[in-house]
Each structure stands twice: as structure tokens, then as C-alpha cells.
Amino acid sequence: MSNDVKVYHQYEDDKKESYQSVVDGWNKSKKEMLESTENNRIQRWSYSNGMFKYFNNPGKVITDRNPYINIVDTEEFDLSIKNHPFPPDPPAFNNKNRPNFFGTLMDEYVDESDWYKDTLHTSYERILREAKGQDLPQVHPEKQMDEKDLKKAIFDYAKSRGFVSVGVTKIDRRFISVEVDDEIIFDTIILLGYEMPHEVVHRYPKPEHDTAAYYGYAHCAAHVHEVADFIRSKGYDCRARSWEGFIKYSVHAVNAGLGNFSTYGIVHTPECGTRIKYTSVIIDADLELDEPIDYNIEEFCARCRMCQKSCPSGAIPKEESRYRGTVKRTTDHIKCFDMMAIKHECVQCIRVCPISMLGYENALNSLPTYYKHNLDRPAYKTNYKEVSDEA
């Protein structure tokens, strides 16, 4: 990437920031960004250098054409949800006095550790090769169906491979790490969410036989190429993408109508709350886009806050940010990662979450009637029920 890349916001290990200081820092950064870029500017996630880089944006025409991406206000999202996927140097993973999180977690707690590691490694290597144009599988020379039938066929097949949350939206390049920009060669993305089993999450804080997040990652890794190969067999080109953080999936999942943001910034789905990990396939086809849906989850979260009250690291703070009638929190990724390293993924915020553990319908039905109006909306039934019934 070129020299005009600039890092505007970076968090340090021991830096304690109040919400107001984040606001002040953001406003200062924003002013500098505005002064240093042109009108087509774009704000981007960055894997290697911290939270923000700021660019002039030749791809603005793509985002401007997309009717859905502006549903999420990127400034407010960045401000109020701090658990971005690209911490520059997560302290928990580099502290010599603690167990290496990724290195030991699977060996100690996962019965099928070898299968997990092998699957993750093999799948990721293939993704990297294909991203470079190497060893690309053949695309069937004839298109086997039109794009309408293709979408249904992909959804059915993905569900048969275990993905419970499937949706289509346009790529929002503001939420892609600049390092993989060149690899995102198609504008349409199929989100594929894999459920972390209820019983695995339930066993925490003493995970036995399995770990929640790695279950999700390993199964995303195991099945994402199957979906991509299925698409190629129907005559359409595509690329599998990984479960890692290079694409910010929460934003895309919200735009694809798969869920709403939770109190701690992870996407809540009606299928399994936040017990979910995403991977994706980008595709060279104009599939019909799914639309964002209000599942009334933010309403429920506003009356719950169990995750915030029980977070052992205090990563989900009390301070609130009100925006368009909703309340959001600023999850501190450094505190969270530190606790995850000590507590083997922790996942306390998922374990205490009524939507994730009791189910969406059960949780929402506990709301007074006047908070449940969205359950009867046609959009909810179409996107959730219909797809489930077809699987």
C-alpha cells in the first residue's frame, strides 16, 4: 500500500479511555482526515497498522450505488463499537507470562484438536492460493440456471452444509481491511454463519471437549469451499473468503438482514443470537440483495444488559451512546482479549445472553406486548421463516 496511508487512531495496552476521550479523539482525528483528503474520501479498517486508515476513494461509486450500506453509520459504528477485528498488537496474545492463546487452546480443550488445526490450515491455504489466482477450480462453462434460481440453490446447499444464517448483500469497502482490497474482486457477498453449539457454550467457564469459537471457525473452514465449488458447478465464478477479520462481517450481516447489533457489537441473529461465526463467498453474479431487518433486538438488549453486568473484564462498559433511538456500548477489545486469553475464550457475554441461550422467540416473547410489534412484520417472516423451511 502506498505512502499516503496514515494511521489515525490506535489503542495502547494500558491506555484507559473514557467514552468522552474516545469521542474527543475521534473528533480530532476526523478533523485531520477531512483536511487531508478529497471529497471522495473513505475510512477503512486496517489489519497491520491499527484501527483506521484514511484514503481517497476511487471506489466511492460502488458504495454510492448500494442502497443498503448507508443504513449503518460508519462513524457512529466505529465510535460506539470498539471491538474492531484488527487490534494492532493484542496484548493477550503476546504476553510471555500467559499461555499462548491460539497455540494451546485447541490442544488443551478440543478433543478433535488435530482435525480443527488441519482443517483451518488447509482451508486457509486454499483461500490464499485462490486469492492470488493460483489453483483456481474450473467454473462450469455453461450457466446452469439464472441468478434467481441460483440464489435459492446456494441458500439450500449452504443450509445443507450446516450454515444456519445465509444472506446476500453488497460489499461495503469501508469495512474491509486494506490489505485484502485487491482480493475482493467481486462486489456481491454471500454471508455464511455457522452456529456454535449451545452445549459447548453452556460448559464454560470450564470448556471440555470443545471450544465455542474454534468450533465455529473450524466448521466455517470445513464447509466454505464446498459452497464455493457448488457455485462454480453452476457456471458462476466466485472466491471463498475466510472466517478471519479481514472482512468486517457484522456490518455486512446487518445489511443482509441476518440480525441486529447486540449490546457488545456482535451481530445477534434470530437463529442463535451471538453464538455464531461467519465466513463468506464473494460471487460474480447479481444475486438479489437481502434487505436489513429490524428484529427488535436492540429493544430487547436495552432492557437486558446481562452481558455488560457479567463481563469479568469490564470490557462492556456502563457508558451509553444514544443514536437514532438505540443505545450502544463501547466494548474494549483489549480488556476482552486479555480475558479471553486467561479464560480460554471466556464467552461469558454469550453464556448469559437470553437470546443466545434461550432462543430469540423465547426471549422476545418475554417482552411486554408493545415491544414485540416487529415479530408480526412480513419482512421478518419472509427472511427468517421461509429460508428455514426450505432447508
Where does this chain bind ligand SF4 (CB under 6 A)? 262-264, 300-301, 304-307, 311-313, 315-316, 331, 336, 339-340, 346-349, 352-355
Least Å from the CB of residue 108 to ligand SF4: 18
Q: How many residues does the chain have?
A: 391
Q: Which amino acid is at 164?
A: V
- Residue whose CB is less far from ligand SF4, 231 or 315: 315
Least Å from the CB of residue 301 to ligand SF4: 3
- Residue whose CB is less far from ligand SF4, 171 or 339: 339
Least Å from the CB of residue 196 to ligand SF4: 13
- Residue whose CB is less far from ligand SF4, 154 or 315: 315
Least Å from the CB of residue 195 to ligand SF4: 16
- Residue whose CB is less far from ligand SF4, 59 or 197: 197
Residue pair 140/232 in contact (Cβ under 8 Å)? The answer is yes
Provide the H-helix boundaries in the chain. Answer: 19-36, 60-65, 74-80, 101-109, 113-131, 147-160, 198-202, 212-233, 249-255, 297-302, 306-310, 333-342, 348-351, 354-358, 360-365, 378-380, 387-390
- Residue whose CB is less far from ligand SF4, 110 or 127: 110
Buried b (16+ CB within 10 A) or exposed e, 9-29: bebeeeeebebeebeeebeeb
Residue pair 250/264 in contact (Cβ under 8 Å)? The answer is no
User: CA–CA distance from 390 to each of 11, 113, 202, 257, 307 (Å)?
Assistant: 45, 33, 29, 18, 33
CB half-sphere exposure, 263, CA atoms < 13 A: 26
Least Å from the CB of residue 366 to ligand SF4: 11
Q: Which amino acid is at 349?
A: C
C-alpha cell at 46: 486496517
Least Å from the CB of residue 353 to ligand SF4: 3
- Residue whose CB is less far from ligand SF4, 68 or 264: 264
